[in-house]
Structure 1
Amino acid sequence: MATSRLETVQTGLGMQVKRLIQDVPTRWNSTFYMTASLLEQKSAISLYAADHQLPATLTASDWTLLEKVNTLLAPFEEITKQISFATSTTSEVIPSVVVLKRLLAKQTTEDSGIKTMKATLLAAMGTRYQIVEAEPLYSVATILDPRFKDRYFTSADNSKLARSALAQEVEKNESSSLQTTTTEAADPATKTPRMTAEPNTSSCFTGLYEEFLQEHAAEQGGTSSTATQVQIETYLAEKTIHRTESPFEYWGKNKERFPSLAATAAKFLSAPSTSLDSERLFSTASNILDEKRNRLSGDHVETLIFRKKNLPMYLNLNPKNLNYQEE
């Protein structure tokens, strides 16, 4: 009955009919969606409260506080979506954490009422990601991403550890008999590079990424003694590419200049930073094999899933084959 009445109010105000979103304890971003839904339906909710004498209503200060909470949670939502792309990699973890921490640490005149919330979120991030920069999985991936390199480490010690871990990984690849195979995996002529995400023009982090790049300019190392160190120092001394460009395309073009680094990049930039993409694959399987198509063999299901996942990328790289879409 309440939903029906709210829809009537929305229609009367000329608004799009929408239901309010409820908060779910196990999904943090549902809190953001709930506050966004309330703010969007502020006029309808206020009119509903006046007409039906709700036992509890939101005051003007409550609405102001909701707006501030929603603004504070927006960067978390942006990063959640950013690392949920199929093209995301572990290299985005450290820059995202560092930039988000700086955003939370900034004090503004709009912090009244949410200072404790900001401090709590900042402290929680410091606890959860305390050693993330020391983890080779993240540090090597970050330094091998031409969008970030070594510019987002918060201390000189962490930067040196990342360089050292990178040198060890490169030397390990060079001594491995599988180096040739790994190098070919980075070649876009033999493997399909993943697509670059569209730039987010309304980002909550406008200027913060560039701010870090300016603060942490490339530092020249000592005298190079090996070919590996020469590659690393030359690579790090060059300017980073724009954040919206594709690191996979970069390594495809520069694999001959930095063969050892390209082979290592193929290893560390290959996996998404979350399990969302694999979870989406389970949804694809359930859409293909359902109660009306339950006689498909396992091999056929696997083939259809593979085509569903990879055909769009193949068609994008080969515009002449777009006639396959019609078939």
Structure 2
Amino acid sequence: MELPDVSLIQDVKTCWNSEHAMLSRLVDLKDAVSLEMATSETSVSCLSPSEWNVAASLVQVLQPIVDATADLSDQKYDTISTVVPFLYGTEQILKGRCDIENEAGLFSKNLLKSLKSRFPLFMEQKELMLATLCDPRFKSIFCTKSFDQTQAVELLAAEVGVRCARVDSPSEQFERQTSPKKSLQTVWETVELLALQKSPRNNPRPHSQEVQKYLNEPLIPRKNDPLLYWREHGAALYTGVAQIALRYLPIPATEVPSERMFSTAGNTVTSRRGSLKPAHVEQIVFLHDNL
């Protein structure tokens, strides 16, 4: 029996991907496991053909999600902007399997129900949508009837307006220069005050035009680095949107990068290196993760 030199994998409750890994390895070693259980003196009963089919079906259902979560936990190009695409794609995959009349179909229905209960209306969450809109790989492709392209432009334009607003606005300058006790002396002073209050800074149209121009630009390939796009291309063309991208895109999609960093720190500060100062530990961890 020619089989790879591998062993079975145990399920870890704190890591749901390990359940898929366990079932996948079990299915791969089906012949060896069946032979061992049939010939060895064990009280564990052999799996029935239907149980083997269920295991294989579960692996098939979970495989696309496992692949996507692996990409989502990557430290290279996956930021919080990939959360909406991941959830959308997962929903579509599960919906396509719900019509199957077997255990895999029932499992897909339950998994889809659980996903919707944990992430209700995820396409309408402001932070997630802003991050996705600022990602040149996706932009507004996930707009729906409840959140259409017009609303997307308005949302992003409003955020650009807030970020680009001057700390010292013309109306504030006028208010400081005008004594609170001093009333307006002429008709033209009232007109000038109205002009300041209605100045273009309160009009989101310039930002809307920038946002619309950015959204109309072709998408970049999914494998490309969105931050590299903004650094080399987008920042000079869309200065307002670039500020929003700089705020949201550096946020990682999952906590995995943080867990890896803490693991690195734990491996660095051993009992023999316990006298290291916190600043030195921080420098070592930084060099380890960035070189």
TM-score (norm 1): 0.72
Match of 2:247 among 255, 267, 276: 267
Match of 1:64 among 16, 34, 53: 53
Cα RMSD between the aligned structures?
Answer: 2.1
Structure with greater Cα Rg? 2
How far apart in 2 are the matches of 1:108 and 1:301? Answer: 50
Q: Which residue of 2 aligns with 1:242?
A: 221
2:19 pairs with 1:19: no
Match of 1:50 among 38, 47, 58: 38
Q: CA distance change for structure 1 residues 154 and 31 in 2, over 3 Å: closer, same or farther?
A: farther
Q: Which residue of 2 aligns with 1:35?
A: 23
Q: CA distance change for structure 1 residues 103 and 61 in 2, over 3 Å: closer, same or farther?
A: same
Q: Would the aligned equivalents of 2:158 and 2:204 in 1 still touch at CA under 8 Å?
A: no
2:104 pairs with 1:104: no
Amino acid at match of 1:238: E
**Secondary structure in 2 matching 1:22:** coil
Q: Which residue of 2 aligns with 1:230?
A: 209
Q: Which residue of 2 aligns with 1:117?
A: 107
**Secondary structure in 1 matching 2:161:** helix
Q: Would the aligned equivalents of 1:136 and 1:162 in 2 still touch at CA under 8 Å?
A: no
Q: Would the aligned equivalents of 1:98 and 1:154 in 2 still touch at CA under 8 Å?
A: no
> Alpha-carbon deviations, 1:172-203, whole Å to 9, x = none?
111155xxxxxxxxxxxxxxxxxxxxxxxxxx
Q: CA deviation at 1:154?
A: 3.4
Q: Would the aligned equivalents of 1:94 and 1:132 in 2 still touch at CA under 8 Å?
A: yes
How far apart in 1 are the matches of 2:156 and 2:107? Answer: 37
Q: CA deviation at 1:158?
A: 5.2
How far apart in 1 are the matches of 2:164 and 2:69? Answer: 36
Q: Would the aligned equivalents of 1:90 and 1:271 in 2 still touch at CA under 8 Å?
A: yes
> Alpha-carbon deviations, 1:229-287, whole Å to 9, x = none?
11111111122111111111211212111111111100010110112111211111122
Q: CA distance change for structure 1 residues 173 and 62 in 2, over 3 Å: closer, same or farther?
A: same
How far apart in 1 are the matches of 2:153 and 2:45? Answer: 58
Q: Would the aligned equivalents of 1:134 and 1:162 in 2 still touch at CA under 8 Å?
A: no
2:70 pairs with 1:81: yes
Q: Would the aligned equivalents of 2:157 and 2:208 in 1 still touch at CA under 8 Å?
A: yes
Q: Would the aligned equivalents of 1:20 and 1:38 in 2 still touch at CA under 8 Å?
A: yes
Q: CA deviation at 1:156?
A: 4.7
How far apart in 1 are the matches of 2:94 and 2:143? Answer: 17
Q: Would the aligned equivalents of 1:89 and 1:271 in 2 still touch at CA under 8 Å?
A: yes
Q: Which residue of 2 aligns with 1:181?
A: none
Q: Would the aligned equivalents of 2:97 and 2:104 in 1 still touch at CA under 8 Å?
A: no
Q: Which moved more, 1:77-86 or 1:19-28?
A: 19-28
Q: CA distance change for structure 1 residues 84 and 176 in 2, over 3 Å: closer, same or farther?
A: farther
Amino acid at match of 2:238: F
Q: Which residue of 2 aligns with 1:304?
A: 284
Amino acid at match of 1:27: C
Q: Which residue of 2 aligns with 1:132?
A: 122
Q: CA distance change for structure 1 residues 172 and 65 in 2, over 3 Å: closer, same or farther?
A: same
- How many residues align structurally? 253
**Secondary structure in 1 matching 2:108:** helix
**Secondary structure in 2 matching 1:242:** coil
Q: CA distance change for structure 1 residues 77 and 123 in 2, over 3 Å: closer, same or farther?
A: same
Q: CA deviation at 1:120?
A: 0.9
Specify every segment of 5 or more residues in structure 2 that has no aligned partner in the other structure, as ranges. 168-202
TM-score (norm 2): 0.80
Amino acid at match of 2:37: A
| Correspondence list, 1:107-256, <5 A | 107=97, 112-157=102-147, 159-176=149-166, 226-252=205-231, 253-256=233-236
How far apart in 2 are the matches of 1:153 and 1:160? Answer: 9
Percent identical residues: 28
Amino acid at match of 1:70: V
Q: Which residue of 1 aligns with 2:271?
A: 291
